[in-house]
Amino acid sequence: MICEKIQLTLSSLFPESAPLPPEPESAGDEKDKKAKSPLPPRQDGLMEREYLVHGYHLDAQVSPAQLVTAVTMLDEAEFFIESITGVDWIKDNQLEVVYDFSRYDFDLCRVVIRTRIDRKSPVVPTITNIYPGANWHERETHDFFGIKFAGHPHLIPLLLPEDADFHPLLKDFKA
């Protein structure tokens, strides 16, 4: 019931013609691919996922402009932020920021919010004004991927040296 409510709420972010997020390619035989396939896609931009396979129920790809709205909807539905990380899609010349959300009734609904940005200007809005605990997650993601979180109150290195001019989790990083 909680998942259905948040699905309905998040659906307002997507026009009916929005493309669905792509399903990552899986290695293995046809039987494995069938087991890992998502539930039938919705028509709005959300993907329902099989929790036992993916570890979450809903997957939403939003634009950076929609990010704060989507996160606010989850906060109002009493979700908490579990983690924030990045993914380097070097072949697409993009970076992706991945936000994992859950509730204290854990297995009822877990949500992943994703947003993609250009590698040359990796900027997304901060969510620290909604979730203060996102502060260090955003700092860590900035350290390792170079993603800037616009409006962050203290975006200084968390784990790397203060004078570091590199981002070690980018796929083109050379030590």
Quick: pLDDT tens for 96-153. 999 999 988 866 789 999 999 999 999 999 999 999 999 999 999 999 999 999 999 9
Exposed (0-12), middle (13-18) or buried (19+): which is 15, by Cβ within 10 Å?
exposed
DSSP 64: H
Determine how many CB atoms are found less than 10 A away from the CB of residue 147.
23
| pLDDT range class, residue 161, cuts 50, 70, 90 | confident
Quick: pLDDT tens for 39-82. 444 444 678 877 767 777 888 999 999 999 999 999 999 999 99
Determine how many CB atoms are found less than 10 A away from the CB of residue 144.
20
Q: How distant, in Å, are the alpha carbons of 4, 8, 85, 109, 166 from that of 77?
A: 12, 12, 22, 11, 38
- pLDDT given at position 100: 95
pTM: 0.80
Query: Residue 119 half-sphere exposure, CB side, CA atoms within 13 Å?
Result: 14
- pLDDT given at position 34: 44
The CATH class, in words, for 2-16+39-150 is alpha beta
The residue extents of the domains of the chain are 2-16+39-150
